[in-house]
Amino acid sequence: MKLLALDTSSMVATVAIMEEDKLIAETVLNHKKTHSSQLMPLIKEALDNCGLTPADIDYFAASLGPGSFTGLRIGITTIKAMAQALNKPVVGVSTLDALAYNLPCSEGILCPIIDAQRDNLYTARYKWKKQELNRISDYDILHIDELIDVLNNQNEKIIFLGDGINQFQQILEGSLKEKALFPHNALSIPRASSIGGLALIQIKEGNVQKAEELLPIYMRKSQAEKQFEERMREK
């Protein structure tokens, strides 16, 4: 069984190919070039490195967000098009889940944080138990002050991942002291290999979808949607 997974929820585009439980290829582009122009070449590179074609893939998986509205649309549209053309099933994975999966079997609470603008963060909390990742909170959008209030009640170390670290690391360190831990920057990138690993779990549980059923998890409205609603209210 072969799976192609991708993540385009951030500035970094990643593509991974897995065979059974083994990662056999992963390509990463961390550059200012747009996902729309670089995603298909990344997919082709990963397939070529494995001597595969799209027809060899049994399942397709994509990050559903939260994250960049534009990036998510590009990634999900690409996966849906490939899966529909080949009549193959798809799997969607939360970006927050994937970030937590970047740090397997770690101790303490994993707290991915993704910038949601205006000092807000997309976030959730996780713990590993018996080699399984368990989400212990709802997916949420919290102001940084609200998040700190929640985490101050925790008695364990808290490991932060995600691009929210760029803006809020000093604030979190100042408020949570030695409880706050920040791993290497590479672990704060949503990776297609983590999307793939979580997708394999869903596949084994029979949790797959038809391509047309795959929808993004935005958690908030895009700026374009807000502007459209404002114009409609003004009429």
User: Do 90 and 28 belong to one domain?
Assistant: yes
Q: How many domains does the chain have?
A: 2
Q: For residue 145, what are its two tokens?
A: 């002050």
User: Do 209 and 131 belong to one domain?
Assistant: no
User: Do 154 and 42 belong to one domain?
Assistant: no
More confident residue, 219 or 106: 106
User: Do 35 and 86 belong to one domain?
Assistant: yes
Question: Residue 67 and residue 60: Cα distance in Å, rounded?
Answer: 20
Q: Give 155's DSSP letter.
A: -
Whether 42 and 27 have beta carbons less than 8 Å apart is answered as yes
73 found inside a domain: yes
44 found inside a domain: yes
Residues with Cβ within 8 Å of 109's Cβ and at least 6 positions away in sequence, in order, are 125, 126, 127, 136, 154, 156, 157, 158, 159
57 found inside a domain: yes
User: Do 163 and 55 belong to one domain?
Assistant: no
- Give the E-state strand segments of 33-186 in sequence order: 59-65, 90-94, 109-115, 120-123, 126-129, 132-135, 140-143, 158-161, 180-181
User: Do 219 and 203 belong to one domain?
Assistant: yes
User: Do 159 and 196 belong to one domain?
Assistant: no
Domain extent for 195: 2-95+189-225
Predicted model pTM = 0.91
Q: For 39, left (φ over 0), alpha (ψ -120 to 50), or beta?
A: alpha
User: Do 88 and 108 belong to one domain?
Assistant: no
235 found inside a domain: no
231 found inside a domain: no
User: Do 84 and 197 belong to one domain?
Assistant: yes
Whether 97 and 70 have beta carbons less than 8 Å apart is answered as no
Tell me, what CATH number does 167's domain have? 3.30.420.40
User: Do 88 and 20 belong to one domain?
Assistant: yes
201 found inside a domain: yes
Q: Give 220's DSSP letter.
A: S
Q: How much is the mean pLDDT over the chain?
A: 92
Q: Is the dihedral of CA 140, 135, 204, 2 positive or negative?
A: positive
Q: What is the pLDDT of residues 171-204, one digit of tens each?
A: 999 999 999 999 999 999 999 999 999 999 999 9
User: Do 169 and 205 belong to one domain?
Assistant: no
pLDDT score recorded for residue 221: 47
Closest CA to 109 of 154, 148, 171: 154
Q: How confident is the model at residue 220 (pLDDT cuts 50, 70, 90)?
A: low
234 found inside a domain: no
Question: Residue 92 and residue 201: Cα distance in Å, rounded?
Answer: 11
Question: Residue 43 and residue 37: Cα distance in Å, rounded?
Answer: 12
pLDDT score recorded for residue 106: 94
Q: What is the pLDDT of residues 92-102, one digit of tens each?
A: 999 999 999 99
Q: What is the pLDDT of residues 42-77, one digit of tens each?
A: 999 999 999 999 999 999 999 999 999 999 999 999
- Tokens 């970006």 locate to 95
- Give the E-state strand segments of the chain in sequence order: 2-7, 12-19, 22-30, 59-65, 90-94, 109-115, 120-123, 126-129, 132-135, 140-143, 158-161, 180-181
230 found inside a domain: no
User: Do 120 and 56 belong to one domain?
Assistant: no
